[in-house]
Each structure stands twice: as structure tokens, then as C-alpha cells.
Amino acid sequence: MESLTVVETLQPAVRAIFWVGALITASLALWLLYMVITGFRIWVLGNGDLISPKLGKWAVVTGATDGIGKSYAEELARRGFSMMLISRSQEKLDDVAKSLESTYKVDTKTIAVDYSQADIYPKIEKGLAGLERILVNNVGISYTYPEFFLHIPDLENFITTMINVNITSVCQMTRLVLPRMEARAKGVILNISSASGMFPLPLLTIYSSTKAFVDYFSRGLNAEYKSKGIIIQSVLPFFVATKMTRIRKPTLDKPTPERYVAAELNTVGLQDQTNGYFPHAVMGWVIAILAPIQLVICLGLRLNKSQRGGYLRRRKLR
């Protein structure tokens, strides 16, 4: 009799636990379904023909002669855009321009400038007049090797150069193209940040911080101008097999720049902030959701210390 009374007493609590469990299970199921549908929409269906000459004839790419920048120029030309190519070497610009013209039968223009200098923007503004519909802010530099802040060679000039190339260029190029985009209520700006801007990265601290700026700048500006028909996307790739990363052999998680860019362009208009490539998106999700930030910083410090030691040992052997 007494045990029956205990059971009756516990029944409301059991029911409550059951319904809480059922609610949590249903919520998780709905969240998982939403993630699957969203992932299918982004990584399988893509954005269709959003990035096409329907936006306008011309696309502008900075840092257009190597790596990801060159691949953006090639992919956009393949899609029918005429290309304005901006980089430091006129010789390399001419080579890329000739290749695009012969392969894709598009018009090209070039501007040779050094983004480490602050006085280049009047020249760029004159060259851009009337051309911009898509801007890819890709130009950027990183460290020669991971290093402690005070041990960076020629630190004062290094700081100025890094800020001019990685931060000032993004702000100034956006300043030049945004008024015409706003006037036409149409345009796309892709700002190439880096996954290292998602968290502090010791021994690459200045680079990581400049890329975090690009991410925050892009997302804030997108909120300002999205309602005006302008897409401003923050792109945060992990490792891509380029000269800058010194990765020679592509793998599933370290794709060729061509493969990365083709995947990334299909996310435009679907994601305001993107890792651009499905394996990178999985890696970004794991780091952002599951990995404690202190663990990420600790692992980054350990990895970069190891790379620093290897680089310095190789220098001594030369």
C-alpha cells in the first residue's frame, strides 16, 4: 500500500521528465532536419546562376595573379565576366589577362599597384571608372614563418605593410566600388578573410588579427547594405594548396584553389559568412561549436612553435 502511494506520488514527476525528454528529442530532430536541408541547399543545389553577367559585365579581382585570386579571375571569366585584374606585377598581370582572353574570349583590363603603399587609390579609382559589378578583395600577405611578435624581422615595417595590404586595401577598395553599386541597387563584394580570423592564432598574431577585422568589417557592412540589394560576404578558407600556404599536394581538406573557388561562389547569397567549401565548413563548425577556444589557442601555439623551430633549423643548415 505504501509502495503504491510512492508510485502515485512520483507519477507527475515521471510525466514531466518524459515530456521534457520528448521536447528535447523533438527539438534536436527538428534542428538536425533544418541543418540537413540547409546544407543540401548550400552545398548541393547552390545559388544557381546568381553569379553571372546578369549582375553586370565587369568583375574586379585584387591579388589576381596567383593562388585563390587567379582562380577567382579564371572562374568568373569562365562564367562570362570581363575582368579587371589588379596586382603588383604588370608582367604577371599581362600573362593572366592574355590567358583569360584566349581561353574564355572575354575583355580584360589591368592595374599594376603595390597594396603595401597608401598612395595607390587615386590610380585605382581612375582605372575602375564604370567597371565594377563584382569585387573580390583577395589581396593579402602572411608571415614568412610563424614568429613571436617582438622577434619578427623589421617589425615596424612589417606591421605597416600587413595593415596596408590586409586591412586598408579592403576598406579602400570597398569605398571605391560601393557608391556605384548602391546607386544601381545591385552588386557583390567578396572579402577573402581566413579561418585563422575565427580565433586568435599565436605566432601568426598580426595576420590572424587582420583577418578577423576583415570578417567583422564584412558582416557589419553586409547588415548595412543587404536591404539595398548589395551582397557583402565574408569568406574564411582553411588551408588551400597555394604558394602562400606552401602546400603542394591537394587533399580533400586542402583543395586546389580552382576547386575551392568553384565551391565558394555557389554560397554567395546563401551565406553571409562562409568557409566556402564543404570540408572547411565542417571544420569550422567543429571549432566554433565543439572545441573550447582555449584548446584551439593552445593547439595553434604548439603547431606554430613546431613550424617555427623547423624553419629556423632549416635556415641554419643553408
Measured at the CA of 256, the angle between CA 82 and CA 41, to 5 degrees, comes to 75
Tell me which residue of 216, 214, 213, 255 sits closest to 238, measured CA to CA: 255
| Apex 80 CA angle, 74 and 83, nearest 5 | 55
CA distance 234 to 134: 14
Determine the distance from the C-alpha atom of residue 215 to the mean position of all C-alpha atoms in its chain, rounded to a whole number. 8
The strands making up 82-87's β-sheet, listed across from edge to edge, are: 108-112, 82-87, 58-62, 134-137, 187-192, 230-235, 273-274
Q: Judge whether 207 counts as a catalytic residue.
A: yes
**Burial class of 118 by CB neighbour count within 10 A (0 to 12, 13 to 18, 19+):** exposed
CB 96 within 8 A of CB 85: yes
- Judge contact between 295 and 75, C-beta under 8 A: no
Cell numbers placing 316: 641554419
- Of these residues, 207, 225, 260, 277, which one is catalytic? 207
Active site residue ranges? 207
